[in-house]
Amino acid sequence: SSTTLSAVPILTKLQRDCATPLPVLRHVADAMAADMRAGLEADGGSDLKMILSYVDALPTGNEKGLFYALDLGGTNFRVLRVQLGGKDERVVATEFEQVCIPHELMFGTSEELFDFIASGLANFAQKEGGKFNLPQGRTRELGFTFSFPVKQTSIDSGILIKWTKGFAVSGTAGKDVVVCLNEAMKRQELNMRVSALVNDTVGTLAGARYWDDDVMVAVILGTGTNACYVERVDAIPKLHSPNSTSGRTIVNTEWGAFSSGLPLTEFDREMDAESINPGEQIFEKTISGMYLGEIVRRVLIRMAEDARLFGDSVPEKLQMSFSLRTPDICAMQQDCSRDFEIVGSILYNVAGVNSNSSARKIVIDVCDAIAKRGGRLAGAGIVGILQKMEEDSKGTVFGNRTVVAMDGGLYEHYPQYRRYLQDAVTELLGPEISKNIVIEHSKDGSGIGAALLAATNSMYG
Ligand code: ADP
């Protein structure tokens, strides 16, 4: 129909503005590698913070005993225990629980929040039994995954820089979060201590490495995005007194802050300008789950306004920021029926609009353009990391089997995105090297990864 026809130029311009042909991908990969180097050189020297994790020893599979993990990163916290049986028995048993954090505690005091968490942990520890076995007289050890910005000072200490994701707890900023948790556990008379403070990407790498010695990189693509990798300590100029016995350490790139050479559209710029952190986390805003649906929504609003895509009026519900979510655009892309019935019902439910099949086809093309750019740029970022590692180690990365462990809801649930990511990696590396680079899903490895890092850093040796 004529209404959808006039949306075509907007679609064509969008596809052109966010295209990711090979030269663009190559530029992004090279810039990622260069920014990594700059960030390793000096703090503040790059978009990429390249944070030292103090994880120098990775799980080997020989770990034995009972270990706990706590994951605090949003509105829930998760607790987990694992009984490790060494090389032969591996994971003997695991158990976990999820606890919802009462809303008022997100705005309370530090003591209140940590007391609540410690009491949840104490409650969970009380139910220990069956295959779980703590030797007489031992203190339980915990790996603590804390997904807020911290300045880590050792494997078991880190200062909170600021709360994010809606938390506004008083009295924690500037304090060591490990001390906060250890003190709260003491107040609960819980015999447990934190052995490792870990970022969630680092936990994912450790969890995947337990099963596969070739894991060198971990990437999270969920609401946000981040990546970490195994680096040689002699390749980190800003590390002045390297005391890693393995000669290697995990570096948390904080790659969401990357910004060089990205093909951005007017819709990205407007979303960024209206965000709570304008000018920051540009890579994250282009590739991660929190934003893909929102970018599509902004394009559809333009098409409704300038080309009457949904008829005479601009749908009111669609005008609300973040009303179209990434799972919605993902679901629309799975629709291969002739009249795009699923797209029609999602548009109706989410935006309250009635659409004809040619409008629905355009909506799918918009979703595809945004998912394609996201997946391909994520792939280019991964190649950037691998390239940096390869340049420093001459052949050991591209010449051997090297595994990139992936996790996060976006990667897990969005098949087209995953395919675009893999395609970009293959295009950039070529058919020969691509055979050695394995990109694989490591589901929920980060919880068990934190427990494994508590084991590798156990005070009992
Ligand atoms: P988080 O990153 O919030 O810790 P997850 O790794 O589970 O948690 O990722 C959740 C994110 O994954 C959601 O915010 C959403 O963007 C994305 N996601 C979840 N389900 C889907 C889906 N079906 N299709 C596409 N993206 C999804």
pLDDT digits (tens, 9 = 90+) for 238-273: 998 777 788 999 999 999 999 999 999 999 999 999
6: left (phi over 0), alpha (psi -120 to 50) or beta: alpha
Backbone angles phi, psi at 65, to 5 degrees: 115, -175
Distance CA(351)–CA(313), nearest Å, equals 12
Domain with residue 118: its CATH number is 3.30.420.40
- Span from the CA of 450 to the centroid of ligand 1 (angstroms): 21
pTM: 0.95
Closest by Cα among 249, 262, 141 to 195? 141
Which are the catalytic amino acids? 165, 200
Residues 6+ apart with CB under 8 A from 420: 371, 372, 374, 375, 376, 379
As a whole number, the mean pLDDT across the chain is 95
Is 291 part of a structural domain of the chain? yes
Pocket lining for ligand 1, CB < 6 angstroms: 73-74, 222-224, 289-290, 326-327, 330, 408-410, 413-414
Is 277 part of a structural domain of the chain? yes
Structure tokens belonging to residue 247: 């000669």
Query: How would you classify the pairing of strands 248-252 and 225-232?
Result: antiparallel
- Span from the CA of 356 to the centroid of ligand 1 (angstroms): 29
Residues 34 and 100 in one domain: no
* β-sheet bridge partners, residue 151: 159
Structure tokens belonging to residue 195: 């052995």
Distance CA(197)–CA(176), nearest Å, equals 11
Residues 155 and 113 in one domain: yes
Of 147, 201, 223, 334, which is best to mutate to test ligand 1, by the most ligand atoms within 8 angstroms of its C-beta?
Answer: 223
Confidence of residue 444 (pLDDT cuts 50, 70, 90): confident
Residues 48 and 67 in one domain: no
- Span from the CA of 326 to the centroid of ligand 1 (angstroms): 8
Atom of ligand 1 nearest to the CA of 220: 6
Is pLDDT at 380 greater than 70 in this prediction? Answer: yes
Residues 41 and 78 in one domain: no
- Span from the CA of 318 to the centroid of ligand 1 (angstroms): 21
Is 76 part of a structural domain of the chain? yes
Is pLDDT at 449 greater than 60 in this prediction? Answer: yes
- Residue nearest atom 21 of ligand 1, based on CA coordinates: 327
Closest by Cα among 351, 375, 374, 376 to 363? 351
Is 457 part of a structural domain of the chain? no
Is 458 part of a structural domain of the chain? no
Residues 251 and 377 in one domain: yes
pLDDT at 3: 62
Residues 266 and 381 in one domain: yes
Residues 326 and 183 in one domain: no
DSSP line for 149-206 = -EEEEETTEEEE----TT---BT-TTSBHHHHHHHHHHHTT--EEEEEEE-HHHHHHH
54-77, pLDDT tens digit by residue? 999 999 999 999 999 999 987 789
Neighbour count for residue 297 (Cβ, 10 Å): 25
- Give the mean model confidence (pLDDT) for residues 321-330: 97
Q: Final residue of a domain: which of 171, 198, 225?
A: 198
- Span from the CA of 221 to the centroid of ligand 1 (angstroms): 8
**Residue 109: strand, helix, or coil:** strand
Atom of ligand 1 nearest to the CA of 293: 16
Domain extent at residue 66 = 54-198
- Give the mean model confidence (pLDDT) for residues 313-338: 95
- Residue nearest atom 16 of ligand 1, based on CA coordinates: 289
Residues 322 and 395 in one domain: yes
Amino acid at 51: I
Q: 179-182 long-range contacts, Cβ below 8 Å, gap at least 24?
A: 180/110, 180/114, 181/70, 181/114, 181/117, 181/118, 181/144
Domain with residue 20: its CATH number is 3.40.367.20
- Residue nearest atom 22 of ligand 1, based on CA coordinates: 327
Q: How many domains does the chain have?
A: 2
Is 216 part of a structural domain of the chain? yes
Burial class (CB in 10 A: 0-12, 13-18, 19+), 294: buried
Atom of ligand 1 nearest to the CA of 147: 4
Of 167, 226, 324, 326, which is best to mutate to test ligand 1, by the most ligand atoms within 8 angstroms of its C-beta?
Answer: 326
Query: Is residue 216 within 8 Å of 397, Cβ to Cβ?
Result: yes
- Residue nearest atom 7 of ligand 1, based on CA coordinates: 409
Distance CA(408)–CA(374), nearest Å, equals 14
Evaluate whether ipTM surpasses 0.90: yes
Residues 243 and 256 in one domain: yes
